[in-house]
Amino acid sequence: MKLREFPGALALGLLASLGAHTALYGGSHEMGGAFHGELVTVALAALGGLLVAFGALAWTGSRHAADGSVLATRLLERLPGLAPVLVATALCYAAGECLEPQHAATALLPLVAAIVASATLLLLLARAAIQALAQAIVAISRPSYATRTPFWLRRAVPVFAVAPAPSLRRRFARPPPGANDPRA
C-alpha cells in the first residue's frame, strides 16, 4: 500500500466496519459501546475530509484533463485497493469490539462475510462517487461558451485560387514608352 492511500483506507475501513457491525447485530447494540457517537463522528469526518481532498485534487487536475473520464482515472489511482480497505476494516472492527462491553460472540464465517461485503460495497460506492465528482468538476470548470477545438479535430478549410476575370485586370494608366518617342 502506498502512503498516499493510507488515509483513504482508514476512512473507508472505519465506515465499512460500522456497516459490517450493523449488518451483523442490527440494532441490538452499538459498536464501540459508549464511544459509538464518537466513532460515527470520526467516520463521517474522515469521509468528508476524503471527499474534500478528492474534490480539491479534481479541481486542480481539471485544467489538464481532456474530459471527466481521464480525470476520474487519475483520481482512482489515489483510492486504495480492496486489500488495504479489508485490512483497515478488520482492524477498525476489532478496535470497536474491544471498546464494547462483553456480549455474545459471532461466528467467524458471517463476520468475515460481513466485513468483505461491506468493504467491497463501500469501495464500489467510493469509485462511483469519484467518477461522478470528476464529471461534475469538469462540467463546472469548463466554460460554457466557445470551447476550443483540439488541433487534431480541426478541419482544414480548402482555399481555392480564383483567377480574376480578364475585364478586371489592371490596365496601364499611360501608353507604352515607345509610343511617345518622336523619333519613331
Does a structural domain hold residue 101? yes
Q: Is residue 168 part of a domain?
A: no
Number of domains the chain contains? 1
171 in any annotated domain: no
- Looking at residue 89, its pLDDT comes to 92
69: Cβ contacts below 8 Å, ≥ 6 apart? 131, 134, 135
Query: What's the average model confidence in pLDDT over 35-53?
Result: 87
Of residues 154 and 44, the one with the higher pLDDT is 44
- The rounded mean pLDDT for the chain is 79
- Under the banding of pLDDT at 50, 70 and 90, the label for residue 52 is confident
Q: Is the pLDDT of residue 73 over 70?
A: yes
167 inside domain = no
Q: Region 17-23: what's the mean pLDDT?
A: 89
**Calculated CA dihedral for residues 117, 119, 124, 129, nearest 10 degrees:** 140
Rounded to two decimals, the pTM is 0.67
What pLDDT score does 171 carry? 63
Does the pLDDT of residue 146 top 60, yes or no?
Answer: no
In a domain, 154, yes or no: no
Residue whose cell numbers read 467518477: 131
Nearest to 85 by CA among 11, 148, 31: 11
The residue type at 91: L
Phi, psi of 119 (to 5 degrees): -70, -40
Of the two residues 166 and 87, the one the predictor is more confident about is 87
List Cα–Cα distances, 140 to 40, 58, 131, 146, in angstroms: 32, 11, 14, 15
Domain range for 53 is 3-141
Percent of the chain with pLDDT over 70: 72
21 assigned to some structural domain: yes
User: Mean pLDDT throughout 54-73?
Assistant: 72
Question: C-alpha dihedral over 24, 27, 32, 34, to 10 degrees?
Answer: -170
In a domain, 164, yes or no: no
Average pLDDT over residues 88-95: 90
Would residue 76 count as lying in a domain? yes
Task: Output the nine-digit C-alpha cell for 166.
Answer: 480578364
Tell whether the model's pLDDT for residue 169 goes beyond 70.
Answer: no
Per-residue pLDDT, 66: 61
Q: Which of 27-36, 113-122, 147-156 has the lowest mean pLDDT?
A: 147-156
What is the average pLDDT across 150-164? 65
